[in-house]
A and B are shown apart, each in its own frame.
Chain A
């Protein structure tokens, strides 16, 4: 409320960034996000250097590797002949121009590789996130409202199973059951073998086929997408269900919920308006972390379903000691994590007026 005379433009800008408004808050968080991404490049670069193993040996054939001339040429081509700090500075300066280097294994720009593989992962991850949010929140709410009664008990068993099963096991079991035994799932990959993918706009087959107006491809893409997405979502559903239940029960014990009930409001209004909203604050935090961890789960799930996504690419880059490839994947994952955190922070302020009012 108090206003101070503004002395010069610099202090005004300073105060703007440190201000409590929505825009300065976003700018501040964006700035730290960019710094974080650079921190991530440094750390993942260091780790790739510390890992024992010779990328040259991993990428050249045995006969080529025994020829010192070829080895030297390979090193020069990929800049491996320079000292490590120089390699890092070169990497970062290229990165600033949007160049992620050339993959040692595919021999293509890493950026092109990522553009090809990332949308596939994004597609199942988005569906998994959606499923996890809807199912996890719904089950958690039902569980909390029917506390200690039958629906709660059943949901608790299922959510505990969900968080306890390792992703590769769920993936294999689901694939065996729904493909081999029941024949409900169409198989592996993103489309039937030989089917043409829709013209690339977003890289998401479902969206692209809709843009192209090709409904049969859309249906097929959805059919192939569903099982891996569900498998990927199971863990997040379990986590969200359990957390939603816990945080709902915590809020249900508050005086203001009793006060809301004392006003004679219908139970559904009490839950929706008075309980769910404050509970969402902590649920969002967990949801952010759970969604980011979907990417980790995708490595295993994609390999089981032969889903040509970032998980498979990461796996191949790691096995082939493809340093630019590994760096590229790290950057994508780090960016997703940081973006998730940013979204969580912004949602916090949208939901909780106290954070906006606080001065």
Chain B
């Protein structure tokens, strides 16, 4: 049994023009000790998927479907049950460490408050584990750091503190929402290295959400690609990055700097981009939402929701055309 099994998750948000589905009929799993990457452009529903796991959807947001975590259904949890889950069993790291740490509370308070609440440990014990956590995430001088406020740290250090915060109650699942996006490139590498190390040292399941496939390539076991609230392709990281089958995945990979796998474009060193803009919430195209930007779209793409096509045990796509099936190599792309 996987740690997390999400089935037919649909998230509806209230917008200015009425309700709109931000996540549509999404199903995926995260195994014990597995790193799953979820990638897609902004507005593809990645963050809403994560927030629905924690029962933290924004004002007037609703989630339907089924979320099975560690053997129990949690989508129907009461507020209280959700609170007992959050921070303790499922922890989350947010995108921007400049805004996700409280500016007025000391690092000690922020590192220990949930530990003391969930585990009912004494102040001294909580302080002791806070010190250990800070050394784990490689904050120099943990003693002084406990007394400091977040404003006294750089972005990278703050993200390390946020990671320490998330790890405090030893959660089974860690959700990292764009953990490196707000950071400088050099600092990003440090955070990724830290996540690698945590993975080795602790039996942690992690869901990394990002729009940057480069971040996922070295970190995750599997990747799920999302577009307009739906899954378009899921596969083992190596399969998906080297032999993408969905036109959208193909486009995302071609848009990566230094990751181009097209012989011609690597000669000209030109960055490819996907034509057009990602659709806005509440305005998703019919059928396969990507058909408006897809070079391979046929009439059925516009009218019918794509069914999943299983390519191998671990690899599936949602594309009736499957334009790269004949040759599983890279030459078909243009």
Contact = CB atoms under 8 A, between A and B. Distances in A.
Interface in B108-135: 109, 113-114, 117-118
A262 B162 CA distance: 12
Given A262-B91, A263-B114, A264-B87, A256 B59 contact: no
Contacts of B102: 256, 259-260, 274, 278
Interface in B254-292: none
A225 to B, nearest CB: 37
A67 interface: no
Contacts of B94: 255, 258-259, 262
Interface stretch (A188-196, A265-273, A323-331): A265-273
Contact of B113 (A147, A263, A351): A263
Interface stretch (B21-29, B66-74, B78-86, B326-334): B78-86
A29 interface: no
Contact of B103 (A256, A264, A266): A256
Task: Among B82, B86, B109, find the residue whose CB has the most chain A CB atoms closer than 10 A.
Answer: B86
B99 A265 contact: no
B100 A259 contact: yes
A267 B79 CA distance: 10
Contacts of B96: 255
Main secondary structure on A side of the interface with B: helix
A255 B118 CA distance: 22
Interface in B33-92: 54, 56, 59, 79, 82-88, 91-92
A353 interface: yes
A353 B94 CA distance: 23
Given A262-B86, A264-B83, A353-B149, A256 B113 contact: no
A254 B104 contact: no
Contacts of B152: 357
A14 to B, nearest CB: 28
A262 B101 contact: no
Contact of A264 (B100, B114, B162): B114
B56 A256 contact: no
Contact of A261 (B56, B59, B95): B56
Given A258-B94, A259-B94, A265 B87 contact: yes
Nearest to B150: A256
A354 interface: yes
Contact of A357 (B56, B84, B95, B151): B151
A351 B54 CA distance: 31
Contact of A263 (B86, B95, B99): B86
A246 B286 CA distance: 39
Kindly state the interface size class of chain A when it binds its partner. Answer: 20 to 34
Contacts of A352: 104
Given A255-B99, A273-B105, A354-B103, A147 B87 contact: no
B11 interface: no
A261 B99 CA distance: 14
A256 B101 contact: yes
Contacts, number: 85
Kindly state the interface size class of chain B when it binds its partner. Answer: 20 to 34
Nearest to A252: B59
Nearest to B55: A261
Interface string A254-298: 111011111111110100011001100000000000000000000
Interface in B218-253: none
B209 interface: no
Nearest to B101: A256
Nearest to B114: A263
Nearest to A277: B104
A284 to B, nearest CB: 14
A282 to B, nearest CB: 13
A263 B149 contact: no
Interface string B141-161: 000000001011000000000
B165 interface: yes
Contact of B100 (A255, A278, A351): A255
A274 to B, nearest CB: 6
A278 B84 contact: no
Contacts of B162: 259
Contacts of A263: 86-87, 91, 113-114, 117, 165
Contacts of B79: 267
A278 B103 contact: yes
A354 B148 CA distance: 11
B212 to A, nearest CB: 20
Given A264-B86, A266-B117, A357-B149, A258 B56 contact: yes
Nearest to B151: A354
Contacts of B85: 264
A258 B104 CA distance: 15
B149 A354 contact: yes
Contacts of A254: 99
Contact of B88 (A258, A261, A264): A264
Contact of A262 (B87, B106, B109): B87
Task: Among A259, A273, A351, A354, find the residue whose CB has the most chain B CB atoms closer than 10 A.
Answer: A259
Contacts of A278: 102-104
8 contacts: A259-B92, A262-B91, A265-B83, A265-B87, A267-B79, A269-B113, A273-B109, A352-B104
Per CB-CB distance, the 8 closest pairs between chain A and chain B, nearest first, are A264-B86, A264-B87, A263-B87, A263-B114, A255-B99, A255-B100, A256-B102, A262-B92
Interface of B: 54, 56, 59, 79, 82-88, 91-92, 94-96, 99-106, 109, 113-114, 117-118, 149, 151-152, 162, 165
